[in-house]
Structure formats: C-alpha cells, structure tokens
Amino acid sequence: MTQLKVLASFTLLVAVLLAGVSGDPLEKCQPRNETYNIGDSKQCDKYYLCGPTGKMVEAMCDDGFVFSVEYYVCDYPHNVDCAARPVLQPSQSTNPRCARLNGFYPFPANESCQKFHHCLQGEAYEKSCPEGVIFDDTRGACVHPDLAGRKECSASKVLGFICPNAGNKFAKLKFGNHDRHPHPEDCQMFFTCSQDGHPRLAGCSVGKVFNPKTGKCSMPSLVPHCADWYKNKTEEELRLMDSDPDNDGDAEDAENAQKSQQPEAPAQPVKAASTPRPAPAGPSQAKQGRRPVRSYTSN
C-alpha cells in the first residue's frame, strides 16, 4: 500500500511539473480530409493528432524520440532541433545503460570511446565504431575524434599518436594541408596530420603498404621492412582487411579527406532504428497534408 501511495504521489508530481511547462500547439487544428500532426511549442517529444473534423488529441513520442516539425515524425534527438522546445517527458528507463528507453548512448570514456549502446524499448545492444573513429552522440554517428565534441576522447589519446606538428600551426607540411606518418605496428595503416595538428587514421588497400619515403601506398617489395606483411595472412584476415571501413584505399585520398574536414569512409552514420527517416516533403506536399508519425521497432 505504501509503495502504491509513493507511486501515486510521484505520478502526480510529474503531472504537475509537466503542466507547469506545458506549451501549446504550434498551429491551430484545421479540418482536413486526413489526420495530421502538429508539434508543441515547448515540449519536443509532444505532438497533437489533428483529426479530419478538426478535433485535436495530445500524443507523445516513445521515450527517447522527439517530434520533428520538419518531417512530422518522431525521430532520434540528433536528427531534430529541439533548441526552441527543450522540455522532455521524464525518462521511463530502468536500464543503467539506457538514459531513455530508446536512443544511442556512448560508453564512459574511461571504458571506451568507440563503443555505444543502441537502446530499443529499454533493451541495450552493444555496438562499436571501427578502429580510428569514435561515437559522437550529438551526431548519432561514428566520426573522426577531432570532429567529435568529446574532450575526454581526443584524437591523440584514441589513436595513441601525437602529430609532430602539434602546437605549430605554421609548420611546413609535405602534402600542403596535411602530412602522413607510418603506423608503428601496421604496415597497411598510416596517420594523416592536419594543419592544426590533429591526427587521423587512414590505410592502404589490401595488397599495398604505406611507404614512409614517398608518403604513398606502394607494393610491399618497395618497402623493405614491410616486404612480408601479407605473406602469412590467412584468407579470413585478408577479407577483414579488405572490408575494413577505415581502409580508404590509397594515400592520395587522404588529401581530399583533409580538405573536406568531413567524415569520409571511416565515419559510419547510425541509422534511426530499423525505420528510415522520411524524405523531406516538397512545398506542394507540405501544403496538402503532413506525414503520419511513424512507430520505431526493431526487426
């Protein structure tokens, strides 16, 4: 009985708190030929179902999702701008690995910068980014460490490599906007160093190794200490090396990657559950009717 009273009191408190910050529909519900959705002015995971007769019903996204006023669906927070609608429902998760029932949540940096949990209805599924990139929850993607806003997961710490030009913005670099350095343990891999001294991991295609003299990928026979790099590799090892997302194919690609300063091949975007994000509606579609809120379920 005592537990029931406590639960009832907590539920009442949550209701009062939400009522104190409750917003309004972003627009008036108008009668149409179909049901459509309207966002809330203050709460990002709240929306309204507007029926054909103009009757409006409040609704909530599943815990961990927020309502997109651009696409009119419930989506992951990293895909939606909630700056003007910061209020969210209380978390319903009891799983310590999941801040909310649904979403992508990084491991503590002292455990791993690459690993994260994909939570679906409170169940946590462990995932990991490829070598050389880390999980950035603000983007919902695996990106180069220097592109992520995680200070505790700096590029030099994650990669175990400090660029020789770190701290010297005026250093002369061999390839214009970046330099290239061999990996101390892997003949196929190498590091690129940008003008601001941030390292990134890159690699040669299978069958080639990095040549420190030229800064390019060469046949193993041209690099004495790497001549036998592929000699004792099994077919399975070669297959994995060939399918490695970190492998950019050739050292020349490193220059384009540095120019763009955007996640290239190593950056693997995280998909929104098993349901793809809808394509943006064109101006005519937006006027005719809005897309229904989709449910997000795992296969």
Tell me the per-residue pLDDT of 36-48, one tens digit each, with 9 for 90 and over.
Answer: 999 999 999 999 9
Judge if 283 and 226 occupy the same domain: no
Token pair, residue 240, equals 């994995």
Domain containing 75: what range? 23-90+274-288
The CATH number given to whatever domain includes residue 63 is 2.170.140
Judge if 280 and 218 occupy the same domain: no
Judge if 31 and 68 occupy the same domain: yes
Judge if 182 and 213 occupy the same domain: yes
Q: Provide the pLDDT for residue 82.
A: 97
| Within a domain: 150 | no
| Within a domain: 60 | yes
pLDDT in tens, 88-126: 999 999 999 999 999 999 999 999 999 999 999 999 999
Which residues lie below 8 Å from residue 110, measured CB to CB, with a gap of 6+?
152
| Within a domain: 50 | yes
pLDDT in tens, 141-159: 999 999 998 999 999 999 9
**Cβ contact 39:47 at 8 Å:** yes
Residue 231 has pLDDT above 60, yes or no: yes
Judge if 218 and 280 occupy the same domain: no
- Write 75-78 long-range contacts (CB < 8 A, 24+): 75/272, 75/277, 76/102, 76/103, 76/104, 76/140, 76/272, 76/273, 77/44, 77/103, 78/104, 78/137, 78/138, 78/139, 78/140, 78/141
**Cβ contact 193:163 at 8 Å:** yes
| Within a domain: 3 | no
| Within a domain: 104 | no
Judge if 282 and 240 occupy the same domain: no
Judge if 62 and 85 occupy the same domain: yes
Judge if 256 and 283 occupy the same domain: no
Indicate if the alpha-carbon torsion angle 73, 75, 79, 82 is positive or negative. positive
- Domain count within the chain: 2
Judge if 203 and 278 occupy the same domain: no
**Cβ contact 178:196 at 8 Å:** no
Lowest mean pLDDT among 35-44, 58-67, 257-266: 257-266
| Within a domain: 48 | yes
Judge if 189 and 282 occupy the same domain: no
Judge if 284 and 249 occupy the same domain: no
| Within a domain: 65 | yes
* Helix residue ranges per DSSP H, 103-252: 155-159, 235-243
| Within a domain: 283 | yes
Judge if 182 and 218 occupy the same domain: yes
